[in-house]
Structure 1
């Protein structure tokens, strides 16, 4: 299989209100998120690509217009964990690009959550 990845960055706030009051994530806070989409194919297309990176621009536009500098609880119905966001972006990407293999969301340089069916 051939695999490619592309990163998209955005900043946003969220709050995990279902956690105990003394949990740091229960407080309003923000992250500089990195969303990495992975596409895979058993063979390359006629141009020698899994998919041209330029074709992934709709994901950049979606993130920029709907997630960047927003409060994620308002967008994701309060389910703004990295795991839920990875699933959300996977579903969005897979509906557009059948080669979508996984999506990873990073909240910090040390933490990531990946959805891979």
Structure 2
């Protein structure tokens, strides 16, 4: 099994619901997010040049990520969903798995030491 990853960055605000009064994440606040896509395939699925997928083909994802999330309020960008890192990883995966069938995992970081991961395969 081969795997490649590529990371992307955006900045946004959010406010998480269903938290106790006074919880710091219940207030509107922002993060410098890091999103990592992982794409996988086995030996028989590598492209002719030997790629899982050409990294250049992920430029479309970067444009989408910027247009959808960068410098936005995530509660508005993804209406009806509590925009936790876990939910964002799930949502991004499901928005992109049809366009990137090799997509196996989306990781979202809000801080340098915290990560949420959604593995679809």
**TM-score with structure 2 length normalisation?**
0.93
| Equivalent in the alignment of 2:36 | 36
Would the aligned equivalents of 2:17 and 2:82 in 1 still touch at CA under 8 Å? Answer: no
In structure 2, C-alpha distance between the alignment counterparts of 1:74 and 1:18, rounded to whole Å: 17
**Post-superposition CA distance 1:31-58 (Å, at most 9, x none):** 0000000000002210110000000111
| Equivalent in the alignment of 2:49 | 47
In structure 2, C-alpha distance between the alignment counterparts of 1:53 and 1:93, rounded to whole Å: 15
How far the C-alpha of 1:18 sits from its partner, in A, is: 2.1
Find the residue that maps to 1:73 and give its secondary structure. helix
**Post-superposition CA distance 1:59-110 (Å, at most 9, x none):** 1001111100000001122420000000111112211011001000000001
Find the residue that maps to 2:117 and give its secondary structure. strand
Give the number of aligned pairs: 117
In structure 2, C-alpha distance between the alignment counterparts of 1:92 and 1:14, rounded to whole Å: 20
The unaligned stretches of length 5 or more in structure 1 are none
User: What's the Cα RMSD here?
Assistant: 0.9
In structure 2, C-alpha distance between the alignment counterparts of 1:70 and 1:35, rounded to whole Å: 16
Would the aligned equivalents of 1:6 and 1:37 in 2 still touch at CA under 8 Å? Answer: yes
Counting only pairs closer than 5 Å after superposition, residues 1-117 of structure 1 correspond to structure 2 as 1-43=1-43, 44-77=46-79, 78-117=81-120
Runs of 4+ in 1 over 4 A off after TM superposition: none
**TM-score with structure 1 length normalisation?**
0.96
